[in-house]
Amino acid sequence: MSLVHTLEDISNHALPARLTLDYDGWLLRVADSPMRRANSAQAYAPSTLPLGGKIDYCEMFYRAHGRRIVFKMISTWEPSALAAALIARGYVEDCLTSIQICALAVGAAPVLPDGLTLEMLPRADDTWQAEIRQLHTPAERPLMETPGMYAAITAQMGCFRLARAGETVGMGLGVLERGWLGLYSLIIAAEQRGRGYGTALVQALLQWGASQGAHGAYLQVMCDNASALRLYSRIGFREVYRYWYLQSHE
């Protein structure tokens, strides 16, 4: 399995969909959350059925589940014919995302900025989930992972909480599978940004992953998020590939 296929496979497991259908080499995923990566079709392997009929089936499938019709496109191996066919049907591109990796090695625990404390839980309990929701804006909360998605994760987890004077200032999720640490749900409180807390949080997750035997870490970051891209570059992440969505107007 190629690196891209491995990263796609383990990232699909890291935040599981409620339903995954393998349809002639395409993965059709449906989740209780509205997040697109868990509610999209993806050309995952070579297929044999006519392209137009397959798109028709996907559109019918997602309408039946009450979902917007979304296709996830991978920069390194997405068939150009599929993209052209979707654009011809009026699908529009959105959410260009960079998938980045870095190597891990066990080392000394990261030094936290003065006054910070770090807590790690093995599961996303109700309190952790409530706190991470509070760090997001009201507009962002409907798009977040649902309790059912967290509960469905079968891989080893690390749920991190960064606090200052007892107040939560940052949170993040690490998911371990096949020697890879996936970084998810990273957020720093809006009023606490620019103080090095994001760097401290990411480094803490990376050190934890290395201590659990992971050889590498991966993350997904929007290509227009300049501050996050700078942070991850300083830490040592590099881009492997990109994905984006083609979605209907429905």
**Do 78 and 125 belong to one domain?**
no
- In sign, the C-alpha dihedral spanning 45, 49, 53, 58 is negative
Q: Let me know whether 81 and 115 are in one domain.
A: no
CATH code for the domain in which residue 184 is found = 3.40.630.30
Please provide the average confidence, as pLDDT, over all residues in the chain: 92
Choice among 118-132, 136-150, 177-191 with the minimum mean pLDDT? 136-150
Write out pLDDT tens, residues 194-231: 889 999 999 999 999 999 999 999 999 999 999 999 99
Q: Are 44 and 125 in a shared domain?
A: no
What is the count of structural domains for the chain?
2
> pLDDT at position 78, please?
61
Query: What is the reported pTM?
Result: 0.93
- Average pLDDT estimate for 12-20: 92
Are 26 and 53 members of one domain?
yes
Alpha carbons 235 and 66: distance in angstroms, whole number: 41
Looking at 87-209, which runs of residues are DSSP E strands? 92-103, 116-121, 156-164, 167-177, 180-188
